[in-house]
Structure 1
Amino acid sequence: MMLAQNKAYPLLWPIMAAALVLSWSSGFVGIRFTSENAHVMLVLFWRTLVSGLILLPFALLIGPRIGARAVSQQMVFGAATMFLYLGGFALAIGQRVPTGLVALISDLVPLAIAALSQPVLGQRLSGRQWVGTALGAAGVLIVSLDSLTLGTAPLWAYLVTVGSMLVMALATVVQKRMGTIDMPIHQSLCIQCLTAAMLFAVCAAWNGGLAPPLDGRFAFGIAWLVLFSTFFCYGIYYASLRLYSVAQVGSVIYLSPPVTMLWGWAMFGEPLSTAMFLGLGVTLFGVWLTASRGRIQPIMDIKEVNP
């Protein structure tokens, strides 16, 4: 049924992919505005708390009744895809892991998803799709060359960076495997946001308290992060996972580094580089190879367990 629907609307995937890339990279703008006079853990706390509280009445009043098992599952995924993923990178940067290296590792999520698709989902990528995935990773590396250094952070901080990326990839394929993405998006996102908010509250309190700075830049940044980087981004992400394979959805994330640089140029006047455009071209070609014609080959039946 999904396959027939996708064929009936051939432009649906390009539109959803463009929306996913724009929203995925929009987090840069919100973080840029909010982190100038606030610790990043405080920013993440208010981002997830406001998002969860806005969604709460809709989650309670609209949609099926949520059982305890479904709530516990979504709490686990919230801890993984929000707290460990976002918080891990924030912790690594705080430990002086170079930002360029953190960005590079975080954007290797599609490569990890592709590697996990066979053992977890029973899906084998075609040779064409593996080439496209590799080209996407190469494009990300080209874009990151100018800011790529090893730094002097402790070894565990680098391991946290890699671990955060792997957690996001594993949580994505496990959600697809279990069928938990079939829960209405506003309900699952509400539970995940509030779970992450509780965990970020502990981290923010440890780093100085939960009170937000009373200035317009922080308020604008939180509003941006809630509307675009949380509601729109996670909504498009989970909707895409319902209609397409995780490898196809993950491949477009490779486009986020160059698009993030375009955000920086448009909103903050940051310079663009030749490497960015070269990397963008390589990544676009890789994403096209991954998403076009090549079909993921199932090697086992996937049993979906709805919450």
Structure 2
Amino acid sequence: MSDRQPAGALLAAAVTVLFWSSAFVSIRSAGAAYSPGALALGRLAVAALLLGGFALVRRVGWPDRRAWPGILTSGLLWFGGYMVFLNWGERLVDAGTAALVVNVGPILIALLSTWLLREAAPRSLWVGIAVSFAGTVVVGLSMSGGGSSSLLGVLLCVLAAITYAIGVVAQKPALRHGSALQITTYSALVAAIALLPFAGVLAREAADAPLSATLNVIYLGVGPTAIAFTTWAYALARTSASKLGATTYVVPALVVVMSWLFLGEVPGWLTLAGGALCLAGVAVSRRRVAAPVAVVSPRG
């Protein structure tokens, strides 16, 4: 695959990163009224209904059988498991610790995609990931003051990072046998079905939840799930999993800005410095690798 990504893939990745960054604010609001499993089911149910309706209008057919291993793996582990683990983990650890642990995900994606997908991993990618992860560490430390961390909470965040990484790597081959809309729609349906045991809890909590929390659940289903996961799949089909995974290190920097704007949480200089490191690392990871120049020996 060429190291040059189409403009459409870059735009799609930008849309994904923006929506996933905004999800941080919405999860904090909705999580006060909805438990981890119910929140994940509500979010995925909204996404599955929206994507399913759109797929019917577009007459998207049944996926090719070769796409189903990736759909089932990403649907169960990433769309479903990741959301439950992350929602639960963030209740037991402070935001800084959660950010530190979950952002191991792009590193795992790079390792797995190099091993399983045989993707090239240039030095600039690893340098960029290292710089961005250092920025995540700085942001995490600056957000961890006075917070609490439990062993279970850290373990849940580790599971979130692992399921995220496996889901992304599993989705990549599936996109060779289906469109971004098709793969995302059926992955969301698989996850929603898997989380149906939480339906009773969701119904009870929705009856007591304030309107603002429910609206945030709906927003999470529409923006950060239905739209963002589709644009992610579109970008993933057109670039390497490791390089796309590294772009998610923009999220901590954007979360800092959005928390400042919408929650009134004024970041300290250490947090800003960490956010700048995250952005710098993403820029380095996306540097193009110069093609080797062929040396032609003169003929005598």
TM-score (norm 2): 0.84
- Return closer, same or farther for 1:17/1:274 CA change in 2, 3 Å cut-off: farther
One of 136, 140, 158 as aligned partner of 1:140: 136
Cα deviation, residue 240, structure 1? 0.9
SS of the aligned residue for 1:26 comes to helix
Q: Residue 291 of structure 1 corresponds to which residue in structure 2?
A: 286
SS at match of 1:145: helix
**How far 1:258 moved relative to its partner?**
1.9
* Cα 1:189/1:104, change in 2 over 3 Å: same
Post-superposition CA distance 1:268-306 (Å, at most 9, x none): 211112122211222222111111123799xxxxxxxxx
- Secondary structure at the counterpart of residue 60 of structure 2: coil
Task: Report the Cα distance in structure 2 between the residues aligned to 1:118 and 1:269, rounded to whole angstroms.
Answer: 41
1:37 aligns with 2:33: yes
1-structure distance, mates of 2:115, 2:9: 26
State the 1:14 CA deviation: 4.7
Counterpart check, 1:258 vs 2:253: yes
Q: Compared with structure 1, are the counterparts of its residues 170 and 287 closer, same or farther at alpha carbon in structure 2 (3 Å cutoff)?
A: same
Counterpart in the other structure of 2:296: none
Partner of 2:241: 246
Please state how far the C-alpha of 1:47 moved relative to its aligned partner: 1.0
| Aligned twin of 2:50 | 54
Q: CA deviation at 1:164?
A: 2.0
Q: Which of 82, 90, 93 in structure 2 is aligned with 1:85? A: 82
Distance 1:45-1:102 versus aligned 2 partners, 3 A rule: same
Whether 1:185 aligns to 2:168 is no
Shift in Å, 1:102 = 1.4
The amino acid that maps onto 2:38 is L
Aligned-partner Cα distance in 1 for 2:114–2:34: 42
Q: Percent identity between the aligned chains?
A: 24
CA contact (8 A) 2:85 2:160 kept: yes
Aligned residue in 1 for 2:72: 75
**Contact kept in structure 2, 1:109 and 1:166, CA below 8 Å:** yes
Structure 2: distance between partners of 1:70 and 1:293: 30
Aligned equivalents of 1:162 and 1:63: distance in 2? 35
How many angstroms apart in 2 are the aligned matches of 1:41 and 1:219? 14
1:269 aligns with 2:264: yes
Q: Partner letter of residue 162 of structure 1?
A: V
Aligned-residue RMSD, C-alpha: 2.9
Deviation sequence 1:16-68 (CA, Å, 0-9, x none): 34322211111113213322323232222111111112222333451233356
* Counterpart for residue 130 of structure 1: 126
1:26 aligns with 2:22: yes
The separation in 1 between residues aligned to 2:169 and 2:287, in whole angstroms, is 21
Is 1:100 aligned to 2:96, yes or no? yes
Give the unaligned 5+ runs of structure 2. Answer: 293-300
Letter in 2 for 1:79: L
Partners of 1:26 and 1:263 within 8 A in 2: yes
Q: For 1:67-105, what per-residue CA distance to the aligned partner results, in whole angstroms no more than 9, with x for missing partners?
A: 5664564233211112111111222234x2333211221
Distance change >3 Å, CA 84–CA 181, structure 1 → 2: farther
CA distance in 2, matches of 1:16, 1:59: 19
The normalised TM-score by structure 1 is 0.83
C-alpha displacement at 1:229, in angstroms? 0.6
The match for 1:227 is 222
State whether structure 2 residue 180 is matched by structure 1 residue 195: no
Q: Which residue of 1 aligns with 2:108?
A: 112
Task: Report the 3-state secondary structure (helix = DSSP H, G, I; strand = E; otherwise coil) of the residue aligned with 2:168.
Answer: helix
Q: Mark the CA change 1:68 to 1:206 in structure 2 (over 3 Å): closer, same or farther.
A: farther
Q: Distance in 1 between matches of 2:66 and 2:288?
A: 38
Change (3 A) 1:130 1:203: same
Ranges in structure 1 where 5+ consecutive residues have no aligned partner: 298-307
